[in-house]
Amino acid sequence: MMQQRAIRPKNMSVTMIVSAGVLMILAGLVTIEVVAIADHLDASALDPAFCSPSSLHTTTEPPETQLTRDYGAIRILLKDPADHFSQIRRVYAGDLHVSVAARAQPVILKRADRAKLFKAEYQRISWTGSLRQEAQRVDRERGTTLALTIDQGLQAYDRIKIEAAFREMFAILLDDLLISIQQRLDQSVTVGRALQHARRFYAEGLDAHLSINAPEQAARASFALDAMARAIEELKAGKSSARVWFARERGNFMRAISEGLSAQATIATKAA
C-alpha cells in the first residue's frame, strides 16, 4: 500500500502515518476470516481478554470505549484514498468491532457477537451496539438525521459528508455526557472519571478537525474542558460554588464546538 509519490516531506509523514494505520486495520480484517473458521474448533479459547471499566483509568491517557475505538478505525480508513467503504460499512453497522488491545497491538477487528464491550464507566452497562445505533438514537432524541446522512454518504462514497455527520454526532454525545456529569456532581470521584471519557470523545471526534479549521474555537474548547476538570477538583475539596463554575464552562465548551463546526460548514458551503 506504500506507494512512491512526489510529495513534500511534510505531507509524506502524514501519508506514511495514515498508510500504516490502514495497513494495521486491513490486517485485522484478514484475521477476521481466520477467527471465523477457528470459532468452529474452540470458541472459548479465542475470547479476547478485555479490560474492565475500572482498569481504563490506570493511565493518564483518556480511556477508550468501544465507540471511540470503532470510530477511530473508521476515521483512519476514511483518510486513506483507497476504497475501504466495505470495511467502513461493517464497522459502522456493528458487524465488526475494534479490539480493546488496539493501542498496544496491531489493530484486530473482532466479530460483534463475540466481543464483551463497555461504554463509559458511569453507565456500568455492557455495550453491544454500533455507531449506527448510536446515530439512530441521537436522531430520535434530538430530531437530527445523522443516520440517514451517514448512510447516504456511504452509498455515494462521500467521505466529507460522512466525516461531517460523525463530527455532529460526537458533539451531541459530548453534550449528553457532560449534562449527565453535571447532574451527578455530588459523586465527585465518579464524574471525575467520566470526564476523562469526555476528553476521549473530544480527542477522537473533534479536536484535530477544530484545531486545523477553527483554531480559536479549539483553544476555547480545550480551555473549558480543563476548567471543568479543575471545577470537579474544587468540588472534591468541598467548594460547592464550583458547581456554577462547571456549568458555565460546560456551556463555554459546547458553544466553542458549535461555533467551530458552524464556521467550517459555512466555509465548505462557500467553497462549493
The model's pLDDT over 46-68, given as tens digits with 9 standing for 90+, comes to 222 222 333 333 334 566 778 88
Nearest to 131 by CA among 94, 97, 162, 168: 94
Residue 189 near residue 236, CB atoms below 8 Å: yes
All cell numbers assigned to 66: 468501544
* Per-residue confidence (pLDDT) for residue 147, from 0 to 100: 97
Least confident of 18-32, 48-62, 213-227: 48-62
Quick one: how far is CA 177 from the chain centroid? Answer: 13
Tell me whether residue 25 is in a domain.
yes
Q: Which amino acid is at 38?
A: A
Mean pLDDT taken over the chain? 74
Per-residue pLDDT, averaged over 213-227, amounts to 96
Helix (H, G, I), strand (E, B) or coil at 204: helix
* Per-residue confidence (pLDDT) for residue 192, from 0 to 100: 84
* Per-residue confidence (pLDDT) for residue 261, from 0 to 100: 94
Specify the number of domains making up the chain: 1
Helix (H, G, I), strand (E, B) or coil at 97: strand
Q: Which domain, by its residues, includes 145?
A: 9-265
- Percentage above 90 pLDDT, the chain: 49
For residue 111, pLDDT over 90 is answered with no
Helix (H, G, I), strand (E, B) or coil at 149: helix
Tell me whether residue 270 is in a domain.
no
* Per-residue confidence (pLDDT) for residue 234, from 0 to 100: 92
* Per-residue confidence (pLDDT) for residue 93, from 0 to 100: 94
Higher pLDDT, 101 or 47: 101
Tell me whether residue 164 is in a domain.
yes
List phi, psi (to 5°) of 23. Answer: -60, -40
| pTM of this prediction exceeds 0.75 | no
Tell me whether residue 271 is in a domain.
no
Per-residue pLDDT, averaged over 220-249, amounts to 94
Summarize pLDDT for 177-213 with one digit per residue, the tens: 999 999 988 886 688 888 999 999 999 999 999 999 9
Summarize pLDDT for 144-156 with one digit per residue, the tens: 999 999 999 999 9
Tell me whether residue 4 is in a domain.
no
* Per-residue confidence (pLDDT) for residue 65, from 0 to 100: 79
- Percentage above 70 pLDDT, the chain: 62
Least confident of 36-50, 62-76, 81-95, 117-131: 36-50
* Per-residue confidence (pLDDT) for residue 155, from 0 to 100: 96
Per-residue pLDDT, averaged over 162-168, amounts to 96
Per-residue pLDDT, averaged over 231-255, amounts to 94
* Per-residue confidence (pLDDT) for residue 116, from 0 to 100: 35
Tell me whether residue 126 is in a domain.
yes
Q: Is 143 left (phi over 0), alpha (psi -120 to 50) or beta?
A: left
Tell me whether residue 33 is in a domain.
yes
For residue 176, pLDDT over 50 is answered with yes
Tell me whether residue 246 is in a domain.
yes
For residue 133, pLDDT over 90 is answered with yes
Other CB atoms within a 10 A radius of the CB of residue 223 amount to 14
* Per-residue confidence (pLDDT) for residue 15, from 0 to 100: 53
Residue 64 near residue 56, CB atoms below 8 Å: yes
